[in-house]
């Protein structure tokens, strides 16, 4: 049986995150994204490696649940090549705000697959904007496009609080990249969305 890329990503991310959480914490120091260190020591691998680390089991569980649910669909829609490229490139793209905001802060570090997971989620929203999604805090089905707008508004609001506990800027960048990747690299994406909303 051939495993999907989605399952492979979940397995690898889970193994590395659990090893860091419960076996060897030094993995964090090696793999986390520290923009100050990255630009001075050329440890650019951190933009990828940090996406395979999580700060808690809950953090890991939420990201992998979202990745499994939406990644399984989008891998089928985009194919293995585009889905893999979307995910890996989103890890890099979602790290850009961290470099812009914290490249001169030696104490700043960030981890998590959230940026790439948001890219997968928002690529789903772009392809299926009228599908109904349910929020855990608001168990009422709402259109995917509305869910996306609410999520972005929440992330912007929380990001303005200047809290470093959650990298909301990475969430926003990942969400944006999930849409931009389709527009730039997947043929007929714009025609698709115009058709969905009856504009073509």
Q: What's the pLDDT tens digit per position in 88-103?
A: 999 999 999 999 999 9
Q: pLDDT tens-digit profile of 109-141? A: 999 999 999 999 999 999 999 999 876 666 788
Tokens of 68: 């499994």
Q: Tell me how many domains the chain contains.
A: 1
- Domain of 18 in residue numbering reads as 5-196
pLDDT digits (tens, 9 = 90+) for 147-164: 999 999 988 888 777 656
Q: What are the distances in angstroms from CA 47 to CA 32, 61, 96, 123, 181?
A: 8, 21, 9, 21, 18
Give the global pTM: 0.93
Helix (H, G, I), strand (E, B) or coil at 143: strand
Q: Where are the beta strands (DSSP E) in the chain?
A: 132-133, 142-143
The CATH number covering residue 46 comes to: 1.20.1540.10
């Amino acid at each position: 049986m051939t495993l999907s890329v989605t399952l492979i990503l979940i397995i690898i991310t889970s193994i590395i995150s659990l090893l860091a959480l419960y076996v060897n914490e030094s993995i964090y120091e090696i793999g986390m994204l520290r923009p100050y260190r990255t630009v001075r020591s050329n440890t650019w691998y951190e933009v990828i490696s940090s996406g395979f680390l999580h700060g808690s089991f809950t953090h890991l569980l939420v990201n992998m649940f979202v990745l499994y649910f939406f990644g399984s669909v989008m891998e089928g829609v985009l194919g293995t090549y585009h889905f893999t490229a979307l995910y890996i490139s989103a890890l890099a793209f979602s790290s850009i705000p961290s470099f812009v905001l914290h490249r001169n802060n030696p104490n700043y570090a960030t981890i998590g697959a959230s940026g790439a997971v948001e890219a997968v989620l928002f690529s789903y929203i772009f392809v299926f904007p009228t599908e109904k999604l349910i929020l855990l805090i608001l168990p009422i089905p709402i259109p995917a496009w509305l869910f996306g707008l609410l999520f972005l508004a929440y992330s912007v609001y929380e990001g303005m609080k200047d809290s470093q506990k959650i990298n909301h800027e990475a969430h926003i960048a990942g969400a944006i990249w999930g849409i931009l990747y389709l527009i730039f690299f997947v043929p007929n994406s714009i025609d698709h969305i115009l058709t969905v909303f009856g504009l073509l």
